[in-house]
Amino acid sequence: MDISTARSFKFPQFISNRNLFHSSIVLVFIFWLIEGLLHIFVFDEADHGHAVFEAFFPHDANELWMRIIITVLLLFIGFVAEASVRFIKITNSVNKEILENSTNAYLAISANWIVEYINPEAEQLFDLTRSKDRGKLLSDILPDLASAFYKPLNVAMNEQKASCVSGFTSQNNKWLKVHIYPASTGITVSVQDISPEKHYQDLMQRNKAIIDNSLDGLISINRRGIVQTYSKSAEGIFGYKCEEVIGNNVSMLMPDNYARHHDGYISHYLRTGDAKLVGIGPYEVQARHKDGTLFDMDLAVNEAIVNDEIIFIANVRDISRRKGLQRKLEYLSNYDSLTGLPNRSFIMDSLKQFIKAATRNNNRLAVMFLDLDNFKKVNDSYGHNVGDKLLELVAGILQASLREADMVARLGGDEFVIVLEDIKHADDAMIVASKIQHEFSKQISIDEHKIMPATSIGIALFPDDGLSHLELLKHADTAMYEAKKSRSDHIQMFSDISRRSGNTSADIN
């Protein structure tokens, strides 16, 4: 804004304080008077009074019209000049009023870098006093401003190019946004204090950096389920880029069974306040990755109000690795790592459940204790690697010999336990045992070694041979040791031993 225009606008002193229209009338009178004097002195007319009268009221019609036209033109020029001056005065007054009441600081600087105008906002922003600082060099009263914005100030002054720049000034410890405009006698500088905005931007950038580098993803949605914010960590968790998610429904990140009901859940919560998830979590849920796979996730949802609008902020964490390790630990605690069969702990718990079911349904079940006869010899002759492979093959043969409802477990070493559920007669257990013996009568090749995996099997029945899992396992173990002693048949029922010689079981605990 050029505030120096009106200051440089001047008129001859004799009309500077008069109404210009009236001054034009005076000019017309003077013009006529001068012409009369010309008639007297130049044309040497004897009758001076007549000459003056002819100057104002000529008898010649053409000359009279010429006088009238000149008079009208002079009066019009006076009217236009007066209107222009009044317009400039009004404009200058309005501009000054705007500058005086502006929330931006304004400085008018002359071509020799003298500060000619300081508005009240500039006084407050730069701690200046107009009466004291006006008329001084810019570099004297605002050295930091002159130094920080040296280049754009010089470009505006010397090349008449406007510019807008921002920067920090240590003189008043503020971030300033400076507009520099060329003016007819120098430059006009508009300064805005943007420190609050800059500090807010810095705070937002710090918060964004913290959020983006957090292990947890942050997602916010509105009351319609539309995603409004989506952190960088969320990109890593779900595989979607920010631009692929913002503006879409958050259900795109959910499995189908959750996605179908999500919007209805939000509506129900907003209508009733019944929170099943909001403000209660975290919960373990499943989420959908961009590639379509499902993964385990911790989810905590909280409600917030921003600009009078309810939003929901979700904190999400991928726990698939943790869940995987947990499942692995659970597997290792219940299953044998070599054969993949249930281990001693698992079969003990499972056998209790089998007994409860058999008692409830008035059924019978069989517990078979199986031991490889030549396993130590295999280990000693061919090494533990071959022994391990033999155990894996044995596990496969046993699983293939059983029904889906039955169970086989490895107790440790070369000992296995089989539970046959819901058998009608003792002969049913003998049939399964004979089938297993038949499979183990076949020669097995392991790493070019020919092995005959002979086995001994002891069988105890529920409820005939025991009512608890410990009794059944102990009696099956006793029968197995009796089977090892037999030279003809390596299958032994505990009931047969009891009938022959009473119970002489070995404690397996």
Which residues have a catalytic role annotated? 414
Beta-carbon contacts of 185 under 8 Å, excluding residues fewer than 6 positions away, are 4, 7, 8, 110, 111
Q: Which residues of 442-459 are buried (b: 16+ CB within 10 A; e: fewer)?
A: eebebeeeebebebbbbb
Q: Please provide the DSSP assignment of 314-374 as one string.
A: EEEEE-HHHHHHHHHHHHHHHB-TTT--B-HHHHHHHHHHHHHHHHHHT-EEEEEEEEESS
Closest listed residue to residue 419, CA positions, set 484, 494, 369, 471: 369
Closest listed residue to residue 358, CA positions, set 458, 463, 466: 463
Q: Report the distance separating Cα 490 and Cα 440, nearest Å.
A: 11
- Lookup: tokens for 50: 């007549």
- Residue given tokens 């009796």 in the structure block: 482
Q: Report the distance separating Cα 133 and Cα 356, nearest Å.
A: 100
Contact call for residues 183 and 3 (beta carbons, < 8 A): yes
Task: Give the DSSP letter of residue 173.
Answer: T
Would strands 163-169 and 449-451 be described as parallel, antiparallel, or unpaired? unpaired
- Residue given tokens 């989810």 in the structure block: 299
Q: Which residues of 242-280 are buried (b: 16+ CB within 10 A; e: fewer)?
A: eeebeeebbbebbeeeebeebeebbeebeeeeeeebbee
Q: Report the distance separating Cα 189 and Cα 150, nearest Å.
A: 12
Q: Find residue 220's DSSP bridge partners.
A: 229, 313
Q: Report the distance separating Cα 376 and Cα 187, nearest Å.
A: 103
Closest listed residue to residue 321, CA positions, set 297, 340, 304: 297
3-state secondary structure of 408: strand
